[in-house]
Amino acid sequence: MLDVYTQIASIPIGYNHPALTKVMTDPKNMCSMILYCVIPGRCTLLTDSNPRINGMKSNNSSSYMTGGFSRVQTMACGSCSNENAYKAIFIWYRNKMRGTPEPTPEEVRTSVINQVPGCPDLTLLSFMGGFHGRTLGCLATTHTKAIQKLDVPSFDWPIASFPQLRYPLDQFERENAREEARCLEEAEDLIVKWNQKGRHVAGVVIEPIQAEGGDNHASFDFYTKLRGITKKHGCAFLVDEVQTGGGSTGKFWAHEHWGLDDPADIVSFSKKMLTGGYYQKDSFQPDKPFRIFNTWLGDHTKNLLLTEVIKVIKTENLLDQAKRSGKVMLEGLYDLQDKYPHLLSKARGIGTFCAIDVKDEDTRNLLLLKARNKGVVLGGCGTQSIRFRPALVFKEHHAHLFLDIFNDAITELK
Amino acid sequence: MLDVYTQIASIPIGYNHPALTKVMTDPKNMCSMILYCVIPGRCTLLTDSNPRINGMKSNNSSSYMTGGFSRVQTMACGSCSNENAYKAIFIWYRNKMRGTPEPTPEEVRTSVINQVPGCPDLTLLSFMGGFHGRTLGCLATTHTKAIQKLDVPSFDWPIASFPQLRYPLDQFERENAREEARCLEEAEDLIVKWNQKGRHVAGVVIEPIQAEGGDNHASFDFYTKLRGITKKHGCAFLVDEVQTGGGSTGKFWAHEHWGLDDPADIVSFSKKMLTGGYYQKDSFQPDKPFRIFNTWLGDHTKNLLLTEVIKVIKTENLLDQAKRSGKVMLEGLYDLQDKYPHLLSKARGIGTFCAIDVKDEDTRNLLLLKARNKGVVLGGCGTQSIRFRPALVFKEHHAHLFLDIFNDAITELK
């Protein structure tokens, strides 16, 4: 099988990489493997508590990695990462409003029984089509499919439109710029209005590319301006890199493409990082221990594997590899949509993080099946898109192989 | 060090048990260790997808284990387990209200934007002093310490009093029975009132012993009657065994002590089970795939370890061991509180799941420190309790050793 989906973008360097086998057969790692530990050191700096991961920061000239962030909080999965990042945002915002981290006796009393002011009526702004996880807090910011949210109580929080760009991008520059301006204006209006009615917007959460929602892109200019709006209104800016992070866009984090000095307050991750977690600015570290905590806070074994993955990414220059393979992929997808314009459209992507639309959902699902029967594993997203999520070891010849088989699968549709 | 806390009750059979080392050095398990997989089979029956775990059910005559439940859903941690169990309850309740799992177009439309009726205004009833996790959904049912909830938006859901029993129990039988009756009446009143105002109580969530909240016990009769109330009013009954499950009470699940034929609709677990998850009745299995889902749904490596843990529990008769060691522990604690009545009170417990109260919080914390300096790791809970959470391999001689050192630590307080 040629896996161009990799367990929903979760296999960073392919199956059974010898470097990872070595980590797991190293007797000195046995202790991590057979028990979970509560390691309080993990609550503070990963960079302090794990010098091998600290190495990622200081030596990792080819990627952003921890750049700009001095603190990291590990968690077991993407949903827990966002849930706890949301908590960090709310705590930060309330401390700012109060002018002190010390709560009033009334806040202490009411917090235990879920009432204001202890449990304040703060909100997070999210975007239509965004996906940030499936636990109750995360679900309140997830707006992709009804099946994920139906029947589950939620928070009434503001939701802004995400730009619906027209393709090919170079033919619709003016329309797309207008669409992005509209969405930015809407987001800012929502922040102002919700603040005015006392339901303050503590933070804005967004993906650099809406993945589950259909590989929806917006321009770097859109993200730059949105970052500006959050600063203007004192909202935290959380960039959810659970699916985009880890190198497949050709940079370690997709938000590096924006080219900003201060792209985010918090960056959450999981999937290719093998452990969940989030990087945060110092100011988002809660003022007291046990405000952000759980029994396991992730799994140290995954940190050991991640350390090795980072080494392999550097040694094998896999970020450059993703750029090269991505170029073959995207050019091949452009060719295919030219060849089958009645079937395919909107080929798009950065690095190997590519997608293409199929004319309708049923045809998309049939194409996924036909590709699977020919030995290529693919995944859908949105209503009618196919997303491509190969591992970082996916090389140019894999891209060519994939394109050939994909073409064969398409011809069977006609 | 003698560990009587075990990473917050998370080490089932002690550190470095050779059986676990064997699992992790078995080459055929390597694949599980070096990558997370999305295994759709896990979404259905663990008993189907993992015959080794199925073996736990059919052969495990000495423990309840999966008894009564045909379905299990694994998750990565305790919070995710409860979050998803809550979702399963809400979905079940709405399907019951609607009379069909098929949503209306209006429900489909509104669910994506967090509005009723798609995201209904359902509630869960929880108890003061209960702890069910720290993500936003779980936090809405957690009522232990302000520091865990402060500044985080929550759901306005009903909260009932948990019985505050007086000790020694045999001297306050009448008062305690009255207190439990009061709490049961309050819980039922809340269900009736919240149902009447249209904010239906879909489920009741409770621990068999409130652990984080201070090792608060209620009688088996209390739980039996509470189970009856949930049936009467059509609420799901979720028993959170994250801390109590896995054998330390002398039965595999603490709720087995109640002796009921139908003790729960859902039982959530984590900690000693090494993987998070929950057992559920067939009717709580969502009607469609991907309603309960995430990328990893736990970690298969932990399932491999759990399988081995269960074998060791059976082979070494560790449930009986917990009863015997617990007897030594509890009798020793009774002796100590008789010896130091100005310092200690309310010795209590089932199996090795024991606790004792210290006269105030500062003295409790000092005693924890003094014990630690003498080589015994202990943990606090509630405002002034010490909880004892040894591993299942904790034997009578460990209990005696612990009691001697604990006595020495106490004498230093005087």
pLDDT, tens digit, 9 for 90 and up, residues B282-321: 999 998 988 999 988 888 888 888 888 988 999 999 999 9
Look at phi and psi of residue B360 and say left if phi exceeds 0, alpha if psi is from -120 to 50, else beta: beta
**Residues 6 or more apart whose Cβ sits within 8 Å of residue A408:** A374
Q: What CA–CA distance (Å, rounded) separates A319 from A257?
A: 13
Q: Which amino acid is at B247?
A: G
Pairing of strands B276-280, B201-206: unpaired
pLDDT at B60 over 50: no
pLDDT at B40 over 50: no
CA-nearest residue of chain A to B129? A112
DSSP one-letter code for B40? G
pLDDT at B73 over 70: yes
Q: Which amino acid is at B353?
A: F
Tell whether B104 is within 8 A of chain A (Cβ): no
| pLDDT value of residue A67 | 57
pLDDT class for A59, splitting at 50, 70, 90? Answer: very low
Helix/strand/coil for A201: strand
Distances (CA, A) of B161 to A267, B58, B65, B235: 40, 39, 30, 18
- Asked if omega into A103 is within 30° of 0 (cis), the reply is no
- Are residues A303 and A74 in contact, defined by beta-carbon separation less than 8 angstroms? yes
| pLDDT value of residue B50 | 32
Task: Measure CB to CB from residue B24 to each of A33, A292, A294 and give the nearest one.
Answer: A33
Partner-chain contact B90 A152, CB within 8 Å: yes
Of B230, B42, B4, B46, residue with least CA distance to B127: B230
Average of per-residue pLDDT across A282-309: 89
pLDDT at A400 over 60: yes
At A381, list the tokens.
């997203």
Average of per-residue pLDDT across B210-229: 98
pLDDT at B355 over 70: yes
Distances (CA, A) of B277 to A42, B179, B291, B336: 24, 33, 16, 38
Q: What CA–CA distance (Å, rounded) separates B380 from B371?
A: 12
Partner-chain contact B30 A21, CB within 8 Å: yes
Of A336, A366, A340, residue with least CA distance to A354: A336
Q: What CA–CA distance (Å, rounded) separates B13 from B318?
A: 9
Tens-digit pLDDT profile for residues A354-384: 999 999 999 999 999 999 999 999 999 999 9
Partner-chain contact A84 B134, CB within 8 Å: yes
| pLDDT value of residue A58 | 33
Tell whether B1 is within 8 A of chain A (Cβ): no
pLDDT class for A307, splitting at 50, 70, 90? Answer: confident
Say what percent of chain A tops pLDDT 70: 92
| pLDDT value of residue A404 | 98
| pLDDT value of residue B47 | 43
Say what percent of chain B tops pLDDT 90: 78
CA-nearest residue of chain A to B77? A76
pLDDT class for A36, splitting at 50, 70, 90? Answer: low
Q: Name all domains of chain A by residue range, CATH numbers in brackets.
A: 2-13+317-411 (3.90.1150.10), 37-298 (3.40.640.10)
Task: Measure CB to CB from residue B294 to each of A86, A134, A291 and give the nearest one.
Answer: A134
Q: Which of A66-75, B137-146, B193-202 has the lowest mean pLDDT?
A: A66-75
Partner-chain contact A119 B154, CB within 8 Å: yes
Q: What CA–CA distance (Å, rounded) separates A149 from B111?
A: 6
Partner-chain contact A295 B16, CB within 8 Å: no
pLDDT at B70 over 90: no
Work out the minimum CA distance from A115 to partner chain B, whole angstroms: 7
Of A370, A236, A224, A273, residue with least CA distance to A66: A273
Average of per-residue pLDDT across A181-204: 98
Chain B, 20-79: which have a CB under 8 Å from a chain A CB?
20-21, 23-25, 30-31, 33-38, 76-79
| pLDDT value of residue A71 | 84
Q: What CA–CA distance (Å, rounded) separates A387 from A256?
A: 21
Helix/strand/coil for B126: strand
* Mean pLDDT, chain B, integer: 91
Average of per-residue pLDDT across B324-348: 98
Average of per-residue pLDDT across B5-25: 89
Tell whether A156 is within 8 A of chain B (Cβ): yes
pLDDT class for A194, splitting at 50, 70, 90? Answer: very high
Helix/strand/coil for A155: coil
Q: What CA–CA distance (Å, rounded) separates A33 from B27?
A: 14
Catalytic residue (choose from B3, B142, B252, B271): B271
β-partners of residue B381 are B385
Task: Measure CB to CB from residue B146 to each of A36, A111, A299 and give the nearest one.
Answer: A111
**Residues 6 or more apart whose Cβ sits within 8 Å of residue A372:** A378
Q: What CA–CA distance (Å, rounded) separates B120 from B116?
A: 5
Work out the minimum CA distance from A339 to partner chain B, whole angstroms: 34
Q: What CA–CA distance (Å, rounded) separates A359 from A343?
A: 5
Average of per-residue pLDDT across B22-38: 74
Tell whether B10 is within 8 A of chain A (Cβ): yes
Distances (CA, A) of A316 to A22, A58, A196, A380, B137: 17, 18, 52, 29, 42
Of B404, B395, B353, B348, residue with least CA distance to B374: B404
| pLDDT value of residue B369 | 97
Catalytic residue (choose from B282, B295, B315, B414): B295
Residues of chain A positioned with their CB less than 8 A from the CB of B25: 25, 30
Q: What CA–CA distance (Å, rounded) separates B85 from A119?
A: 23
pLDDT at A3 over 50: yes
DSSP one-letter code for A276? E
Torsion of CA B104, B107, B109, B110, to 10 degrees: 160
Other Cβ atoms within 10 Å of B58 Cβ, number: 11
pLDDT at B30 over 90: no
pLDDT at B56 over 50: no
Of B26, B115, B4, B6, residue with least CA distance to B375: B4
Taking the alpha carbons of B251, B333, B4, B206 in that order, is the dihedral positive or negative?
positive
Measure CA of the first residue to CA of the last residue in chain B; give whole Å: 24
Residues of chain B positioned with their CB less than 8 A from the CB of A112: 128, 143-146, 149
Q: Which of A283-287, A364-368, B345-349 has the lowest mean pLDDT?
A: A283-287
DSSP one-letter code for A303? H
Write phi, then psi, for A252 (nearest 5 degrees).
Answer: -65, -40
Angle at B286 between CA B127 and CA A144, to 5 degrees: 95
The residue whose two tokens read 């699977």 is A372
Q: Which of A119-123, A307-311, B175-179, B241-245 has the lowest mean pLDDT?
A: A307-311
- Are residues B330 and B354 in contact, defined by beta-carbon separation less than 8 angstroms? yes
Partner-chain contact A295 B270, CB within 8 Å: yes
Average of per-residue pLDDT across A286-314: 88
Tens-digit pLDDT profile for residues A44-54: 334 433 322 32
Query: Which residues of A are known catalytic residues?
Result: 131, 240, 271, 295
- Are residues B122 and B195 in contact, defined by beta-carbon separation less than 8 angstroms? no
CB-count exposure of residue B73 (10 Å: 0-12, 13-18, 19+): buried
Distances (CA, A) of B345 to A114, A327, B387: 31, 71, 13
Q: Which amino acid is at A121?
A: D
Write phi, then psi, for B75 (nearest 5 degrees).
Answer: -145, 170
- Are residues A212 and A131 in contact, defined by beta-carbon separation less than 8 angstroms? yes
Partner-chain contact A150 B293, CB within 8 Å: no
Q: What CA–CA distance (Å, rounded) separates B144 from A367?
A: 52
Tell whether B382 is within 8 A of chain A (Cβ): no
pLDDT class for A302, splitting at 50, 70, 90? Answer: confident
- Are residues A122 and A200 in contact, defined by beta-carbon separation less than 8 angstroms? yes
Between A308 and B138, the higher pLDDT residue: B138
